[in-house]
Amino acid sequence: MPESSEFIVPPCHDAVRLLYEDEQLLAVDKPAGLLSVPGRHPANRDCLITRLQQDYPSARIVHRLDMATSGLMLIALNPDSHRALSRLFEQRQIHKEYHAVVAGQVAAHEGVIDLPLACDWPRRPRQHINFGHGKPAQTHYRRLDTSATQSRLLLTPYTGRSHQLRVHCASLGHPILGCEFYADASTRDASPRLLLHASALQLLHPVSGEALSLHCEPPF
């Protein structure tokens, strides 16, 4: 949902799952419907980071997922790991994968979507394809499965623009099921939630330098 100062997020009763923990960072599975950080309205305090800080007071957000998106998130546990992880994200040194279920039969087995994105200011938080002022945005997709009415895709974003995966899938003519921003009514109503899930992260550990491969199976 778009969040204004008046919008109150419906309560999320699903728990945050801890997937990995060491002295530097956490990896967690954020449920769909939970904000990553507190919202503007005072009633929107429940979110991933406030829940985690009850047990990990030093926990700090490094990146975000949309409220409607579920899946893997990294959380820093001290200022040094926060700086190091933030730098890895900024330098695009973290490999990210998402699972999505989209409307229709995706014909190509795989491909790359290279379409620049910009904020659609009159309709915020929507984004749109803008060749004049948009920022570069690239997404690799691979079809995992397909049926007469829908396809399951593995999405690998090379960039991290707002709503990038939603807009890029819609640009193929295959919007994500449950998407309220870029799908037609029948596709939006085909699922009670957005069928987009952050399923994998691969990176070098910010302190040890060892390869860290994290996975979180989609719940759909």
Q: Are 176 and 195 in contact (CB under 8 A)?
A: yes
Could you tell me whether strands 60-61 and 70-76 are parallel, antiparallel, or unpaired per DSSP bridges? antiparallel
Please give the Cα distance from 200 to 40 (Å, whole number). 30
Helix spans in 155-195 (H): 164-171, 185-188
Q: Measuring CA to CA, how many Å separate 128 from each of 169, 190, 206? A: 12, 23, 34
**E strand map for 89-208:** 95-103, 110-114, 117-119, 127-129, 138-146, 150-157, 196-204
114 is an active site residue: no
Please give the Cα distance from 210 to 24 (Å, whole number). 13
Catalytic residue among 66, 80, 114, 189: 66
Write out the catalytic residue numbers.
Answer: 66
